[in-house]
Amino acid sequence: MSEALPAVLASPEARIVIIGPGLMGGSLAKALRTVAGFSGRIHAVIKSVDEHAAVQKATYTEKRPGQKSKRPKLVNACSAELGPAMDGADLVLVATPPQTIPEIFRALAEQLPSPTIVTEIASVKGDIAVLGKALFGHRYVGSHPLVGSEQQGFRAAKGTLFRGARCVLTPMDKGDDQTLAFLHRFWSALGCEVLEMSPEEHDARLAKTSHLPHLLAYAYMAFLGESDPAALTSLGGGGLRDFSRIAASDPALWREILQENRHYLHADLSRFRAVLDELDKALWDDNPSVLEDILVQGQAARAQFQFPPPLKT
């Protein structure tokens, strides 16, 4: 069950600005309408001319008991610049790639009405959190919904993307409590289970659970690409399909994420390689009990994780 939106967003006068309505930002708009029942205004800020038309045309179905369903606009206004969007905004959601965020934050800081809350959904916090705090103080707390898809763009957006997913909020001190409570209700209303940790803990943990798997999946597929792929492409079963799915993700976005979090990743990679070396040695020494021990450890560690169910497609 989703919770109710924060009180200030429950009014038809409420205003939310989504900067970058791609897969994630577009899904946020859809989830706001169809999961959280948001009836206020959504203003999208979007640079891409191609996406602009699709976002402007998009509608959603409003279900009211006893009435015919209507198809109002998903997004009430679109602009390429921040300026027109800021007037009376209650919440600004920055849903663009990590490396664009500092510039957007600086532009926002010049125009932001004083009570507006700001968050972003970057997969790595690092400098972004430091800058957000410096520019917006307690009006900023970072968000990271642990969802995504190898697909890209507004057309792939889904209102159900956040249902049953975890969302990590990254407060920095006690003064953030009010914004934290606001964003906690916001993400809960979209269907998320909310977790809280510092930006540093977030980056250290996500390096292990998300960034390293992406790095390994890309490296593995690059290895296959060097190994006579024509002889291999018909041999992909379900195991390879699932293992490598995240290597179909946007390389430019993931280059940014890996680069931003390289300090944690480099250390994790070195520990991962130690396990790999141990495994390779057991294989080469033909040492079945050491080999099986490592596999048993891997299987046991996986059994401790609770995963969301696969998205229905």
Q: Which of residues 266-285 bind a copy of itself (CB under 8 A)?
A: 266, 268-269, 271-273, 275-276, 279-280, 283-284
As measured in angstroms, the least distance from the Cβ of 93 to a copy of itself is: 19
**Cβ nearer to a copy of itself, comparing 80 with 275:** 275
Q: What is the DSSP letter of 165?
A: -
CA separation for the pair 115, 8 (Å, rounded) = 11
Q: Does residue 245 touch a copy of itself according to CB under 8 A?
A: yes
Q: In what order do the strands lie in the sheet with 166-170?
A: 142-145, 166-170, 193-196
Q: Does residue 223 touch a copy of itself according to CB under 8 A?
A: yes
**Cβ nearer to a copy of itself, comparing 54 with 294:** 294
Whole-Å CA distances, 284 to 55, 271, 280:
56, 20, 6
Q: Does residue 103 touch a copy of itself according to CB under 8 A?
A: no
**Cβ nearer to a copy of itself, comparing 109 with 204:** 204
**Cβ nearer to a copy of itself, comparing 117 with 141:** 141
Interface residue with a copy of itself, options 13, 103, 110, 242 (CB under 8 A):
242
Non-local CB neighbours of 53 within 8 Å, separated by 6+ positions:
none
| Structure token digits, residue 258 | 């890996």
CA separation for the pair 112, 87 (Å, rounded) = 8
Q: Which of residues 33-52 bind a copy of itself (CB under 8 A)?
A: none
Q: Does residue 305 touch a copy of itself according to CB under 8 A?
A: yes
CA separation for the pair 43, 48 (Å, rounded) = 15
Q: What is the CA radius of gyration of the chain?
A: 22
Q: Does residue 296 touch a copy of itself according to CB under 8 A?
A: yes
CA separation for the pair 206, 31 (Å, rounded) = 24
- Is the Cβ–Cβ distance between 21 and 159 less than 8 Å? no
Q: Does residue 310 touch a copy of itself according to CB under 8 A?
A: yes
Q: Which of residues 118-147 bind a copy of itself (CB under 8 A)?
A: 146-147
- Is the Cβ–Cβ distance between 88 and 112 less than 8 Å? no
CA 226, 227, 230, 235 torsion-angle sign: negative
Interface residue with a copy of itself, options 83, 84, 115, 213 (CB under 8 A):
213
Q: Does residue 292 touch a copy of itself according to CB under 8 A?
A: yes
Cβ of 70: how many Cβ atoms within 10 Å? 11
Binding residues for a copy of itself, how many (CB under 8 A)?
A: 91
Q: Does residue 248 touch a copy of itself according to CB under 8 A?
A: yes
Q: Which of residues 167-206 bind a copy of itself (CB under 8 A)?
A: 168, 195, 201, 205-206
Q: Does residue 222 touch a copy of itself according to CB under 8 A?
A: yes
- Is the Cβ–Cβ distance between 21 and 51 less than 8 Å? yes
Options 14-22, 75-83, 124-132, 211-219: segment touching a copy of itself (CB under 8 A): 211-219
**Cβ nearer to a copy of itself, comparing 86 with 265:** 265
As measured in angstroms, the least distance from the Cβ of 30 to a copy of itself is: 18
CA separation for the pair 93, 82 (Å, rounded) = 12
